[in-house]
Amino acid sequence: MGDDRRWLFADQLGDHFLDGDDQPVVLVEARSVLRRRRFHRQKAHLVLSALRHRAAELGDRAVFVQSGTYREALDRVAGPLTVCHPTSQAAVAFVQGLPGVAMLPARGFTSTQEEFAAWTVGRGRRRLLMEDFYRDARRRLDVLMDGDEPAGGRWNYDQENREPPPGDLGLPRPWRPEEDEIDEEVRRDLDRWERDGGMRFAGRDAPRAHPATRAEAAAALRDFVRHRLPSFGPYQDAMLAADPDMAHSRLSPAINLGLLDPMMCVRAAEDAYRAGRAPLASVEGYVRQLIGWRDYIWHLYWHFGPDYRHSNALGARTPLPRWFADLDADAVEARCLSWALAQVRDHGYAHHIVRLMVLGNYALQRGFDPAELAEWFHRCFVDGYDWVMIPNVVGMSQHADGGRLATKPYASGGAYINRMSDFCGGCRYRPARRTGDDACPFTSGYWAFIARNEELLAANPRTARSVYGMRRLPDLGEVCEREALRGDEPP
């Protein structure tokens, strides 16, 4: 039982951040956070709604301070506090500078910092490969294991999990919450602060679409496991214009707010497999995302340290064009990109492949400044937090770390998007064309990207073939010239 008073940050809202049923709690809503960045309106709403719902649930157990800044709030809360390791480098530095606040180890992930540190120095480890980390986690956590062997005899079902999309997945609409009076109050406050308080938001307002309480998060998890987990695997990498969610869980906002313990999600998925309600390839694909990718990204954020966010190995310095920064989907003719921007504008959410292979791919091809892009993703996505954005954008998506996180840049031309989506049929561009009026901007952008980074990509065995292909293009000069002329015009 914890007698200490536990300060919970707004992304630490679950019971797993507390020690016991009657531990006193301090919650802070600091308006300065919303003033510092132009967040998506739906993100600001979700975070405030979740925090206020938690304060209401805890009742007299919690002191809930609504103030201008964290410092003002903490001045009002006299006496010592404990807090679980915050999720951003800036917040850790802030907490370390506060007298009377003791920092506990991090929670809300499936591995500890000590376990990760021990893994990095494991036998003969030369590279920090996600796959090795993931297998280690499967054994350590005893997830999808039959004794010492992986369930089904294989660790990895990626080969089965890369199917192009069928016409329609035929799945029911994902779980959605009902708004309540707390949401009404949040909406009124945000309207007022925007009108009178100088706050600015990105994107459009809409009814809340993600869980704000632990009960809602549990309902969303049940809904996912029952209806969409069985189809999660095969279509993980696919995109359909009429089905923005496909079989994805949409649980990252709830997990990142701390409303769901990721191990709860993992166990629920494994139970579905053991009960014969979901195939192994789908369950393995989902579990890999959580105990593999999510924890790997979390630990690399700390392992690479504060300078990592400034990495720019490809010398990408293009400022984000206004239409991209402002989510002006209507200014864009390229159907996949216009659709992806509209998803962000209208929902503050898009699934992984949209983030990586449409938005990130376009930015990578045009050399958008990685730090500015990371800031954009952080502000505009409802599940965006510093720890998860920096490695995903700087490392995975923009290759700005020179390959410390991913062995090759995720750049691709229109052929990939055409194979994995139904966007190209209705687009004014043709995915196979790299010159001419109907040249696909992803295809011409891809070759211009390879040409611009020729030396570096030729030295990487995973991209050397693309460089070879680029050198054989008869019209490369024309492709690069058109790309240069496009400048920051929307495609």
Neighbours of 38 (CB within 10 A): 19
Which residue in the set 70, 442, 446, 447 belongs to the binding site for ligand SF4 (CB under 6 A)?
442
The entry of ligand FAD, ligand SF4, none near residue 336 (CB within 5 to 8 angstroms by kind) is ligand SF4
Does the protein bind ligand FAD through residue 214 (CB under 6 A)?
A: no
Binding of ligand FAD at residue 252 (CB under 6 A)? yes
Find the helix or strand (DSSP H, E) in which 123 lies: none
Residue from 43, 294, 347, 366 in contact with ligand FAD (CB under 6 A) = 294
Name the one range near ligand FAD by CB under 6 A: 29-37, 133-141, 200-208, 389-397: 389-397
R_g (Cα) of the chain, nearest Å: 23
Provide the minimum distance between the beta carbon of 370 and ligand FAD in the complex, in angstroms, as a whole number.
10
**Nearer to ligand FAD (CB atom), residue 108 or residue 491:** 108
Binding of residue 449 to ligand SF4 (CB under 6 A): no
Rounded to 5, what percent of the chain is helix, strand, coil? 50, 10, 40
CB under 8 A, 24+ apart: contacts of 270-279:
270/143, 270/144, 272/225, 272/229, 272/230, 273/144, 273/151, 277/225, 277/226, 277/230, 278/225, 278/229, 278/230, 278/232, 279/230, 279/233
Binding of ligand FAD by 23 (CB under 6 A): no
DSSP 329: G
Residue indicated by tokens 């004014």: 428
Count Cβ atoms within 10 A of the Cβ of residue 324 and give its class: 0-12 exposed, 13-18 middle, 19 or more buried.
buried
Indicate the residue among 305 and 487 with the shorter CB distance to ligand SF4.
487
Q: Which does 427 bind (CB under 5 to 8 A by kind): ligand SF4, ligand FAD, none?
A: ligand SF4
Q: Least distance in Å: CB of 377 to ligand FAD? A: 5
Cβ neighbors of 287 (< 8 A, separation 6 or more) are 138, 143, 144, 266, 269, 270
Choose the contact partner of 227 out of ligand SF4, ligand FAD, none; CB within 5 to 8 A by kind. none
Minimum Å distance from CB 253 to ligand FAD? 7
* Contacts of ligand SF4 in 298-357 (CB under 6 A): 334-336
Instruction: Establish if 262 lies at the interface with ligand SF4 (CB under 6 A).
Output: no
The CB-of-411 to ligand SF4 minimum distance in angstroms stands at: 13
Nearer to ligand FAD, 256 or 343 (CB): 256
- Give yes or no for residue 289 binding ligand FAD (CB under 6 A): yes
* 145 beta partners: 150
Of 99, 101, 90, give the one whose Cα is nearest residue 36.
90
Q: Which region holds residue 142: left if phi is over 0, alpha if psi is between -120 and 50, else beta?
A: left
One residue of 133, 423, 446, 449 binding ligand SF4 per CB under 6 A: 423
Q: Which of 30, 62, 212, 424 binds ligand SF4 (CB under 6 A)?
A: 424
Give the one entry of ligand SF4, ligand FAD, none that residue 383 binds, where binding means its C-beta sits below a cut-off of 5 to 8 angstroms depending on kind.
ligand FAD
In the complex with ligand FAD, the residue whose CB is nearer, 40 or 250, is 250
How many CA atoms lie less than 13 Å away from 34 in the CB half-sphere?
Answer: 28
Task: Kindly tell me which of 272 and 427 has the beta carbon lying closer to ligand SF4.
Answer: 427
CA distances from residue 141 to 132, 144, 241 in whole angstroms, order as listed: 14, 9, 37
Residues 6+ apart with CB under 8 A from 83: 6, 7, 8, 9, 95, 101, 102, 103, 104
Residue 431: Cβ-neighbour burial (10 angstroms; 0-12, 13-18, 19+):
buried
Number of residues that bind ligand FAD (CB under 6 A): 28
Residue that the structure tokens 């954005």 belong to? 389
Binding-site member from 285, 391, 414, 445 for ligand SF4 (CB under 6 A): 414
Q: Is 404 in the site for ligand FAD (CB under 6 A)?
A: no
Distance CA 115, CA 134 (A): 12
Find the largest Cα–Cα distance for the chain. 73
Question: Footprint of ligand FAD on residues 337-356 (CB under 6 A)?
Answer: 351-352, 355-356
- The interface mask with ligand SF4, positions 36-55, x = CB under 6 A, is --------------------
Nearer to ligand SF4, 260 or 329 (CB): 329
C-beta of 423: minimal distance to ligand SF4 in Å? 4
- Cα torsion 326, 332, 334, 336: sign: positive
CA dist., res. 486 & res. 444, Å (int)? 11
- Could you list the residues that contact ligand SF4 (CB under 6 A)? 334-336, 414, 417-418, 423-424, 427, 429-431, 440-442
- Could you list the residues that contact ligand FAD (CB under 6 A)? 248-252, 255-256, 286, 289-290, 293-294, 297, 351-352, 355-356, 360, 377, 381, 383-384, 388-389, 392-393, 396-397
